[in-house]
A = this chain, B = another copy of it.
Amino acid sequence: MKKVAIGIDIGGTKTAIGIVDREGHIIARDSIATPSHGDAKKYVVELSKIIKRLINSVKLSGREIEVLGIGIGAPNGNYYKGTIEQANNLSFKGVVPFVKLFKKVFPEFKNIILTNDANAATIGEMIYGNAKGMKNFIMYTLGTGVGCGLVVNGELVYGHDGFAGECGHNILIPEGRLCACGGKGHLEAYCSASGIKRTAFEIMVRDNAKNSLLSNKSFQELDSKIIFEAAKKGDKVALETFEQTGKWLGIALANSVHHTSPEAIFLFGGPVEAGDYIFKPTIKSMEENLLPVFRNKIKVLPSKLKMSDVAIVGASALVWKEITN
């Protein structure tokens, strides 16, 4: 009998579901559209049908599994209360008690746990990834936004109200770029995928760089992957974009190190695929901005989790973590 955990990722448009083993392999997966009708009860009932079907499909294929619980990752997910609260990009309004709703349709599962997506990814790294055995580390996820999870003394930091780890909204440049949340100068406005694009345009504007490989892309078209490809071809704007992004990210990492003094910081997400182009300037800047007592000690590493799997795998990790505690 193979022990498995269900991972659910509730995204703005899609809800992904997977059955995950202790090694982090997804042995079955499915997805549905996250509804726009705002009726959480109805949505959970729909979801439960898909989950039951998925479990049965695995069993019918001859594999014996024991489901240990359900982990849910969602924007503005609150670990303590099991709620999703005021999530901008979901249709459910106010404070929705998702764990309670899930417990109604799955009374047989003792472990049903919810947290936000970046926290789930962080626990994924701890359970399945490169942070195995680490007691103190930080994970930064660079994507549409910048997410963050902190682990202290072997536990994810949820804080007093369950919302800790929102370092993407730390002020990097006072009165700087507008952030998607409405704030100004946040890390996310500089080091998310779209932040990187903004930097590339900033540099093109400054240098009037009409010969850059990036200069034939619209503001909508350009993304961090195109910038990476241009950097590989030696494009000056693209290279400087990564240099500058690393400088900013390094400051943010140094500030986080000063808070919790981790053993390692893991980076995850699209822009991280650029490898040395982003890691080298980030590490250089972090080291320069660290108090000497922290220098040459903190590892900055890529996440071991796969981009395509992290949402499901991270959510499922919540179950294994809960069982270990």
Contact = CB atoms under 8 A, between A and B. Distances in A.
A262 B86 CA distance: 20
A260 B297 contact: no
Contact of A293 (B86, B135, B172): B86
A264 to B, nearest CB: 8
Contacts of A258: 148, 164-167, 169-170
Contacts of A162: 261
Nearest to A155: B153
A76 interface: yes
A150 B254 contact: no
A261 B152 CA distance: 13
A117 to B, nearest CB: 14
Interface residues of A, number: 45
Given A150-B259, A162-B261, A259-B164, A171 B294 contact: no
Given A173-B174, A254-B171, A256-B259, A293 B159 contact: no
B255 A293 contact: no
A263 interface: yes
Nearest to A182: B292
Nearest to A259: B259
Contacts of A164: 258-261
A150 to B, nearest CB: 6
A158 interface: yes
A167 B262 CA distance: 14
Number of copies: 2
Interface in A109-153: 135-136, 148, 150, 152-153
A160 B256 CA distance: 13
Contacts of A262: 159-160
A246 to B, nearest CB: 13
Contact of A135 (B85, B160, B259): B160
Contacts of A150: 259-260
A261 B160 contact: yes
A205 interface: no
A164 B262 CA distance: 8
Given A153-B155, A155-B153, A292 B259 contact: no
A166 B256 contact: no
A315 interface: no
Interface in A230-282: 251, 254-256, 258-263
30 contacts: A76-B293, A86-B293, A135-B160, A136-B159, A136-B160, A152-B157, A153-B155, A153-B157, A159-B261, A160-B261, A160-B263, A161-B261, A161-B297, A163-B294, A164-B261, A165-B259, A165-B261, A166-B258, A166-B291, A166-B293, A166-B294, A167-B255, A167-B258, A169-B258, A170-B254, A170-B255, A172-B174, A181-B291, A255-B255, A260-B260
